[in-house]
Amino acid sequence: MDGDNVRHGLCGDLTFSPEDRAENIRRIGEMVKLFVDAGIIVLTAFISPYRRDRRRVRSLLSHGQFFEIHVDCPPEVCAQRDEKGIYEKARAGIIKNFTGISAPYETPENPELVIDSHQEDAKAAAARVIKLIEEYQIVQE
Protein backbone atom coordinates (compact mmCIF):
# COMPACT_ATOMS: atom_id res chain seq x y z
CA MET A 1 0.00 0.00 0.00
CA ASP A 2 1.30 3.39 -0.98
CA GLY A 3 0.89 6.49 1.16
CA ASP A 4 0.10 8.84 -1.71
CA ASN A 5 -2.65 6.55 -3.01
CA VAL A 6 -4.25 6.22 0.42
CA ARG A 7 -4.01 9.98 0.94
CA HIS A 8 -5.97 10.58 -2.28
CA GLY A 9 -8.72 8.10 -1.39
CA LEU A 10 -9.40 6.73 2.08
CA CYS A 11 -7.65 9.64 3.80
CA GLY A 12 -8.40 12.37 1.26
CA ASP A 13 -10.18 14.43 3.91
CA LEU A 14 -7.08 14.74 6.11
CA THR A 15 -4.43 17.45 6.28
CA PHE A 16 -0.84 17.11 7.48
CA SER A 17 -1.51 18.45 10.97
CA PRO A 18 -0.24 16.23 13.81
CA GLU A 19 -3.83 15.19 14.60
CA ASP A 20 -4.63 14.29 11.01
CA ARG A 21 -1.32 12.44 10.62
CA ALA A 22 -2.32 10.33 13.64
CA GLU A 23 -5.73 9.66 12.10
CA ASN A 24 -4.14 8.77 8.76
CA ILE A 25 -1.96 6.12 10.42
CA ARG A 26 -4.87 4.89 12.56
CA ARG A 27 -7.01 4.30 9.46
CA ILE A 28 -4.14 2.57 7.71
CA GLY A 29 -3.59 0.33 10.74
CA GLU A 30 -7.23 -0.67 10.88
CA MET A 31 -7.25 -1.35 7.13
CA VAL A 32 -4.08 -3.45 7.36
CA LYS A 33 -5.55 -5.45 10.25
CA LEU A 34 -8.53 -6.38 8.07
CA PHE A 35 -6.21 -7.65 5.34
CA VAL A 36 -3.99 -9.55 7.78
CA ASP A 37 -7.06 -11.14 9.40
CA ALA A 38 -8.02 -12.34 5.91
CA GLY A 39 -4.61 -14.00 5.53
CA ILE A 40 -3.08 -11.43 3.20
CA ILE A 41 0.51 -10.26 3.57
CA VAL A 42 0.54 -6.47 3.51
CA LEU A 43 3.53 -4.25 2.78
CA THR A 44 2.97 -0.56 3.40
CA ALA A 45 4.98 2.53 2.54
CA PHE A 46 3.90 5.45 4.71
CA ILE A 47 5.55 8.35 6.43
CA SER A 48 4.59 7.82 10.03
CA PRO A 49 6.45 10.52 11.92
CA TYR A 50 5.31 9.75 15.47
CA ARG A 51 6.38 6.76 17.57
CA ARG A 52 3.05 6.63 19.40
CA ASP A 53 1.17 6.13 16.12
CA ARG A 54 3.50 3.31 15.07
CA ARG A 55 3.07 1.69 18.51
CA ARG A 56 -0.71 1.92 18.14
CA VAL A 57 -0.64 0.08 14.81
CA ARG A 58 1.72 -2.55 16.22
CA SER A 59 -0.72 -3.13 19.10
CA LEU A 60 -3.50 -3.99 16.63
CA LEU A 61 -1.58 -7.02 15.37
CA SER A 62 -0.20 -10.17 16.93
CA HIS A 63 3.50 -10.73 17.54
CA GLY A 64 5.25 -11.42 14.24
CA GLN A 65 2.57 -9.68 12.17
CA PHE A 66 4.02 -6.16 12.30
CA PHE A 67 7.55 -5.31 11.23
CA GLU A 68 8.73 -1.75 11.47
CA ILE A 69 11.15 -1.11 8.65
CA HIS A 70 12.85 2.24 8.88
CA VAL A 71 13.96 3.48 5.48
CA ASP A 72 16.57 6.06 6.39
CA CYS A 73 17.79 8.71 4.00
CA PRO A 74 19.19 12.18 4.66
CA PRO A 75 16.79 14.98 3.66
CA GLU A 76 19.32 16.40 1.20
CA VAL A 77 19.41 13.07 -0.68
CA CYS A 78 15.61 12.89 -0.62
CA ALA A 79 15.52 16.38 -2.10
CA GLN A 80 17.92 15.35 -4.88
CA ARG A 81 15.65 12.40 -5.74
CA ASP A 82 12.45 14.45 -5.54
CA GLU A 83 10.83 14.47 -8.96
CA LYS A 84 7.69 16.29 -7.74
CA GLY A 85 9.52 19.31 -6.31
CA ILE A 86 7.90 18.94 -2.91
CA TYR A 87 11.11 19.45 -0.91
CA GLU A 88 11.72 22.75 -2.68
CA LYS A 89 8.13 23.82 -1.93
CA ALA A 90 8.48 22.72 1.71
CA ARG A 91 11.71 24.66 2.15
CA ALA A 92 10.05 27.71 0.58
CA GLY A 93 7.18 27.42 3.09
CA ILE A 94 4.61 26.62 0.40
CA ILE A 95 3.98 23.16 1.86
CA LYS A 96 3.37 23.28 5.62
CA ASN A 97 3.99 20.51 8.17
CA PHE A 98 6.42 18.67 5.91
CA THR A 99 8.07 15.80 7.76
CA GLY A 100 11.78 16.37 8.28
CA ILE A 101 11.64 19.98 7.09
CA SER A 102 8.96 21.92 9.00
CA ALA A 103 7.52 19.04 11.04
CA PRO A 104 9.27 16.51 13.28
CA TYR A 105 10.17 12.93 12.56
CA GLU A 106 10.73 10.60 15.51
CA THR A 107 13.24 7.96 14.46
CA PRO A 108 12.15 4.43 15.43
CA GLU A 109 13.78 3.16 18.59
CA ASN A 110 13.77 -0.57 17.80
CA PRO A 111 12.79 -1.25 14.20
CA GLU A 112 13.01 -4.81 12.96
CA LEU A 113 15.02 -3.59 9.99
CA VAL A 114 16.83 -0.42 8.94
CA ILE A 115 17.44 0.27 5.27
CA ASP A 116 19.87 3.07 4.46
CA SER A 117 18.43 3.87 1.06
CA HIS A 118 21.22 6.32 0.26
CA GLN A 119 23.77 3.49 0.63
CA GLU A 120 21.82 0.44 -0.55
CA ASP A 121 20.05 -0.11 -3.85
CA ALA A 122 16.38 -1.07 -4.03
CA LYS A 123 17.04 -4.67 -5.08
CA ALA A 124 19.34 -5.34 -2.11
CA ALA A 125 16.89 -3.65 0.27
CA ALA A 126 14.00 -5.75 -1.09
CA ALA A 127 16.06 -8.91 -0.58
CA ARG A 128 16.59 -7.94 3.07
CA VAL A 129 12.83 -7.41 3.55
CA ILE A 130 12.12 -10.83 2.03
CA LYS A 131 14.76 -12.41 4.28
CA LEU A 132 13.08 -10.83 7.32
CA ILE A 133 9.65 -12.22 6.51
CA GLU A 134 11.19 -15.61 5.70
CA GLU A 135 12.87 -15.63 9.12
CA TYR A 136 9.43 -15.27 10.72
CA GLN A 137 8.14 -18.03 8.41
CA ILE A 138 5.52 -15.76 6.88
CA VAL A 139 6.75 -16.86 3.48
CA GLN A 140 9.01 -19.76 2.70
CA GLU A 141 11.55 -20.25 -0.06
pLDDT tens sequence across 40-61: 999 999 999 999 999 999 999 9
Q: Report the pLDDT value the prediction gives residue 141, as an integer from 0 to 100.
A: 65
Nearby residues of 119 by Cβ (< 8 Å), 6 or more positions away? none
Global confidence as pTM: 0.89
- Catalytic (active site) residue 62: no
Catalytic residue among 17, 48, 62, 102: 48
Q: What's the Cα-to-Cα distance from 16 to each of 67, 91, 108, 113, 120, rounded to whole Å? A: 24, 16, 20, 26, 29
CATH of range 3-135; options 3.40.50.300, 2.60.40.10, 3.90.1640.10, 2.40.50.90: 3.40.50.300
